[in-house]
Structure 1
Amino acid sequence: MSADLVLDGLDKRFPGSPTPALHAFSLTVAAGTCTAVLGPSGSGKSTLLRIIAGLEEPDAGAVRIGGRDVAGVAAERRGVGMVFQRSLLFPHLTVLDNVAFSDRVSGTSRRAARSRAEEYLEMVQLRGFGDRRVGELSGGQEQRVAIARALAAEPAVLLLDEPFSALDPALRSDMHDLLDAVRTAVSPTIVLVTHDRDEAARASDRIALLEHGVLLHEGTVLEAYRRPQNLRAAQIMGGRNEIPGEVRDGVHHSALGSVPVPPETPDGPGILVIRHEDVAVLDDGAGSTDAAAIAGVVESTRVAGARSEIVVRCGDARVHAESPPTQRCQIGDRVRLELPVSAVHVVAA
């Protein structure tokens, strides 16, 4: 049911727009995997999905599905399913007939189409809902039906355009669990568009960061958070620490002092980035041998759920960190920060 998706050098510019919607965009999504395309509003995410689906034609570049160039292939013949933020279900049909729609259009008998539709409704945990009307469903149930309808067409590639963004946090978590179950059952190739980095990390195998139509970064979820390819990628993933300096012989020198970096880090100007979650806050004087220990003074604190966000002034540099609620840091406290070498990363200045 799944197939490799290869996007090669896509360009797209809309008339009257001063900037391209996509520029030289290349990405490969391996069969049966999920890549989340993450970026701010207006970054080109939805345009990308529409080009894959055949609803827009690129000005340049190619879309290949299972090795086949689909240029000029009609949307309904590409083997692509799409689920939008709004479910777009047919209100005049029952839930069962919504899911059976693609089979009926292809000429399958009503009995056979409905039988297959029941299987997909069970897959999305809506067994027994087939006789209901769309107006009787909750928002989460509508999206489950939309996913079942898309899967019933047996697409090689499933496109999800922020399908869970209108749901409350608990329902979104349920939908992420559902997506896991669907992937286990039928293993589609998925491209998930979202502006929520937590959702991207939870639901996908890899993350592609897009801004102004340009691919900033592509890699595993861990790489997106802790090994971003550039400073803007780090910022989009919520990074808060950016310390300019220079790497010499495995050490980053900056206003923060001398911080050991991973051995593969090249010499030259670079910006040290480290996730605030990875910075350990210790009492002044404490420290270990496998991390840089930097002395500083707590400049501000803010409770954020189960943890506290702390800003520490270290000479002319400021470092963001987190501490558990059992560790009570006050403004003016002298502390020591540990920066584990394995968590330190340097991007080009």
Structure 2
Amino acid sequence: MISFAHPWLLLLLPVVLWLGWSFRASAPAAFSRAPVLLRHPALARLGQGQAQTASAARRWLPLVLALLALAAARPQSEGGWLPPEGEGRDILLLIDASPSMAIHDMTLEGTSVPRMAVLKQAAQGFIDARVQDRLGLIVFSDAAATAVPLTTDRAAVAAQLARLTPGSTGAATAIGESLGVALRQIEGREHPPVIVLFTDGDNTGGVLRPREALAYAERLGLRLYTVAVTPDEVPPTPQGDGLREPTLAEMSEITGGAAYQAGDADSLARILAEIDRREATTTPPPSERVKLEWYPAPLGLALLLLALGQLRELRGGRAA
């Protein structure tokens, strides 16, 4: 069904037709009769020929103006449905940068590499896949700090990820502190982001304990995925007050997430692919259609008639 983007321009059609008819009925061209001061039979024939061709061109003028008005109103029809944009998620990546992440006990393409190198490659693939999401990066060792706040600039997140160096900010593993920094970022948000925690050990530093951060995280309703980036089991580390901190698996269970252990590059890639599927971008049903523009047809026809009229006028002048 044809509709118009500017239907009010159709109201100009009667005016345009009237102007065209008025001009069509106007006096012939200036050369239709010979000048009074200079009379010659050849000039008379030239004037008659130009008058005839100009008159023929003016016959099309009402149609040309009507076609131009129709093109200006932009006739349209509806095509197929436009694919809707997915509703992105907020995802915070918490990455352990303690010295143990430099241990060479993993292989990547047949070469022995540190844990951090395997983590960087897998996390880069995860970042590239989350096109619609806002991503943030928090780094922790002795303490925790925000490297990149939540942003849609995936290149900025990837750049900071590439700069990470194990042991550059301390020797401990402050998991509780990293959760605290994340919670401060998401406090007050209507939809708490997903948190993915990468570490190769238990909490060994920081002021805020994981159990304290988890109590608040549970109230906020966020999901925590934990990934142990080590081929070995992560035993709980005794705390100074004698209270046992929750394991990585318990942290994920409390928040409704999931716990994983990546012993090599392939398993880490599979884990992140599974998290990507579990936290897939939601896509609403389509609500807009493609607009097919039809104004080129009347516009092209109007220009063709103008060109033909001009051509006839030029040929008439030469023939005369």
- Normalising by structure 2, what TM-score? 0.28
Larger of the two Rg values belongs to structure: 2
Structure with higher strand content: 1
Structure with higher helix content: 2
